[in-house]
Amino acid sequence: MTSADTVEGRDVVAGTGSGRSPRRPRRGGGQRQSGAGWLFVTPTLVVLGLFLVVPIVMALWVSVTDWTGRGSPFSSRVGFVGADNYQALLTEPGLSRQDFMISLRNTFYYVLGVVPLQTVLALGLAVIVNQRFLKGRTFFRTAFYFPSVVSSVAISLVFLFLFTGTGAVNQFLGVFGVDGPTWFSDPRGLIHLVGQGLGLWSIDAPPSGLAGTQVMSLSLWDWFSGPSVALSAIMLQVVWTTAGTFMLMFLAALQDLPTEVEEAALVDGANAWQRFRAVTLPTCARPSCSSSRSGSSAPGRSSTRCTS
Amino acid sequence: MSEIGIDARTQAQTVKDMRRLDPTGRPAGDGGSVVHRSSRGKKLLVYLALVAFALVYIYPFVVQVSTSLKTNADAVAHPLAVLPDPWTTAAFARLADTDFPLWFTNSVVVTVCVTLGRVFFNSLAGYALARLRFRGRDAVFTAILAVLAVPGIVLLIPKFLVLNYLGIYNTYPALVVPLLVDAAGVFIMKQFFESIPPSVEEAARIDGAGTFRIFWSIVLPMARPAVITLTILSFQGSWNELAHFIIATDDPRLFTLTRGVAQLTSGGLGSGNQFPISMAAALLMTIPTAIVFVVFQRYFTQGANAGAEKG
């Protein structure tokens, strides 16, 4: 039995932990702690292992085999094919490459739209709700945050209703004489529409230079389509839903802002915009406030629907 | 929370004082009025923006409630109208004829199991990682942190394969067990346990209490705020979960609200758009969240920020 070694080792581990009193554990208690420690983390490790680590390994393994989807991917009849699947996806022209490229394009436009819009909206909401003269700040903070905690299915249903062809949004736009699109069922790209609006091209007869050049199974015309109207509606929904969460983060940062800094700016004669640019914005630009993570997390929330 | 509130108030007072002092050193009367006027204009602007945003944020929920009480024809013809004409509860009656009550029950069962499990297992692991000394502790913690970074959506199909392999596909355990632990929850609990002074535990240990007993009767009760935060995050997470339930079952008897309603409203209703029914379904699945949210609002905001710091 190497109990002396174990105790030494344990102390080393304890030493690397956060500053704790340098109490040496009694031998019996220490051994009990070691057993209890592993016992306490075992359920977590088993569940995370089975439903996260194993799937990760499995996904990696399957991606380098010729597994057809039937039987176990670990059976002996499944062969290792190296990077063949990746090569097929990226170099062989065909439907799967085209689908993959469309999904890449859509994700790119999605992130390009959602991240800045979300950040600006969240910052705007935070600055407004942070105004000290405002009455009912708690109420508005609650209202802006509430969509973040509601089921994405429920929110999708409401948005599907609001954004139908004759729905609330289009009726509202109609008040200003705008004839709204059919939103969730409109596959036309935004850039295509803007170009047509400016008289640069016609969507029905795209310029042959763009439509005729294929890059990775997708014509240049398709690459530069911009997000479709349907995807834009989804993006609006996601921005609306998640801005409240980021608003809370910005608020936390704003409330951490030392009074002296703002006072100093005031004494120096900075006007409201200068104070916002030079004081508020840098405060909110701390890493903990960055909303860039949303690019990867938001699609998961709104994955109830697919888009064209 | 209250500390921040006081801080904000003193801050506001100081800023007001600064204004009165007129730091720019302009002639008192003139400068004062300029500041006064601009701040009134600013107030008006802020209020206008606030009303506009409030409308954008509250109106969809108003529409949801009022449409659920409309007839289908009324909902299609007057989507903007707040008051139904005529009033009817037909949508709720039709919903009661579907499997909606079953889905609701399933959601409640799953949510209760997942929430209890998460609070217990996450606290256990968080306590071990914060306080107990054992070999490999740092490695375990690093591994849990690493798992936080994996996007769940790419693992859906392998997760289905694992469930199938374990033979629990299409059972309640398949709905519950994979959600029983979440890495973020372990992290929140660990952070909190580290903030509790260890002297109390030491006293209990000297009195001869076992590790689990110290955890259960002494440390866990002291961690009440973190436990409440975790309870709420778990409730919200499992009540709103959809992707996992899609891969864990295809048996209609095991559908939860999210799964059932998504299916019902994407064609399960037969003819055309039944907006009052889908709004009623959306409303009924929002109400439990809304109640928990209003009652425990403070903890929601804390949870959101705890989640923020981890990244």
Give yes or no: residues B83 and B109 share one domain.
no
Give yes or no: residues A84 and A119 share one domain.
no
Give yes or no: residues A56 and A109 share one domain.
no
Q: Which of A127, A155, A234, A159 is nearest to B290 (CA)?
A: A155
Q: Which of A168, A294, A200 is nearest to B61 (CA)?
A: A168
Q: Which residues of B touch A55 (CB under 8 A)?
A: 155, 158-159, 161-162
CA B154 to each of CA A123, A246, B141, B241: distance values in angstroms, whole numbers, following the listed order: 31, 25, 23, 16
Q: Which of A291, A301, A295 is nearest to A246 (CA)?
A: A291
Q: What is d(CA A33, CA A36) in angstroms, rounded to the nearest whole number?
A: 5
Q: What is d(CA B86, CA B67) in angstroms, rounded to the nearest whole number?
A: 11
- For A159, nearest residue in chain B (alpha carbons): B60
Q: Cβ of A150 and B286 within 8 Å?
A: yes
B285 within a domain of the structure (yes/no): yes
Which of A5-9, A12-16, A34-38 has maximum average pLDDT?
A: A34-38
Sequence-distant (6+) residues with CB within 8 A of A198 are none
Number of domains present in the structure of chain B: 2
In 10 A of CB A264, how many CB atoms?
A: 12
B274 within a domain of the structure (yes/no): yes
Q: Cβ of A58 and B161 within 8 Å?
A: yes
Give yes or no: residues A157 and A109 share one domain.
yes
Of B80, B132, B154, the CB nearest to A37: B132
Pick from B66, B92, B118: which residue ends a domain?
Answer: B92
Q: Does A91 touch chain B (CB under 8 A)?
A: no
Give yes or no: residues B167 and B111 share one domain.
yes
Give yes or no: residues A127 and A182 share one domain.
yes
pLDDT for res B138: 92
Q: Work out the percent of chain A whose per-residue pLDDT is above 70.
A: 82
Number of domains present in the structure of chain A: 2
Q: Which residues of B touch A165 (CB under 8 A)?
A: none
Token pair 């009990």 is at which residue?
A32
Give yes or no: residues A128 and A43 share one domain.
no
Q: For residue A56, what are the domain limits? A: 33-92
Give yes or no: residues B217 and B236 share one domain.
yes
Give yes or no: residues B138 and B287 share one domain.
yes
Look at B310 and A181; give whichever has higher pLDDT: A181
Give yes or no: residues A163 and A242 share one domain.
yes
**Local confidence band at A26 (pLDDT 50, 70, 90 cut-offs):** very low
A138 within a domain of the structure (yes/no): yes
Sequence-distant (6+) residues with CB within 8 A of B70 are B78, B84, B85, B88, B91, B275, B276
Mean pLDDT of A239-259: 87
B7 within a domain of the structure (yes/no): no
Alpha helices in B22-99 (DSSP H): 28-68, 72-77, 90-97
A280-295 residue pLDDT tens:
888 777 654 444 443 3
Of A25, A153, A255, the CB nearest to B258: A153
pLDDT for res B301: 65
Q: Which of A287, A74, A260 is nearest to B309 (CA)?
A: A287
B241 within a domain of the structure (yes/no): yes
A62-120 residue pLDDT tens:
999 998 888 788 888 888 998 999 999 999 888 999 999 999 999 999 999 999 999 99
pLDDT for res B9: 38
Q: What is d(CA A79, CA A64) in angstroms, rounded to the nearest whole number?
A: 9
B4 within a domain of the structure (yes/no): no
Element containing residue A214 per DSSP (H, E): strand A214-215
Q: Assess whether pLDDT exceeds 50 at residue A14.
A: no
pLDDT for res B199: 87
* Positive or negative torsion for Cα B298, B304, B307, B309: negative
Q: What is d(CA B278, CA A162) in angstroms, rounded to the nearest whole number?
A: 12
A174 within a domain of the structure (yes/no): yes
Give yes or no: residues A104 and A52 share one domain.
no
Q: Which of B192, B188, B175 is nearest to B247 (CA)?
A: B175
Sequence-distant (6+) residues with CB within 8 A of A308 are A187, A228, A230, A231
| Smallest Cα distance from B309 to chain A, Å | 6
Give yes or no: residues A103 and A131 share one domain.
yes
Q: Assess whether pLDDT exceeds 70 at residue A296.
A: no
A215 within a domain of the structure (yes/no): no
Give yes or no: residues A49 and A137 share one domain.
no
pLDDT for res B84: 92
Q: For residue B71, what are the domain limits? A: 18-92
Q: Which residues of A touch B285 (CB under 8 A)?
A: 151, 153-154
pLDDT for res B32: 39
The CATH number assigned to the domain holding B117 equals: 1.10.3720.10
A166 within a domain of the structure (yes/no): yes
Q: Assess whether pLDDT exceeds 50 at residue A132.
A: yes
**Local confidence band at A297 (pLDDT 50, 70, 90 cut-offs):** very low
Q: Is the ipTM of this complex over 0.85?
A: no
pLDDT mean across residues, chain A = 80
Pick from B92, B121, B143: which residue ends a domain?
Answer: B92
Phi–psi pair at A77, nearest 5 degrees: -80, -10
pTM recorded for the entire structure: 0.80
Q: Cβ of A37 and B60 within 8 Å?
A: no
pLDDT for res B239: 95
Residues of chain B with pLDDT under 50: 1-37, 307-311
Pick from B92, B107, B132: which residue ends a domain?
Answer: B92
Q: Cβ of B180 and A43 within 8 Å?
A: yes
What is the number of H-type helices and E-type strands within chain B?
A: 17, 0
Q: Assess whether pLDDT exceeds 60 at residue A22.
A: no
pLDDT for res B16: 41
Of A29, A150, A262, the CB nearest to B15: A262
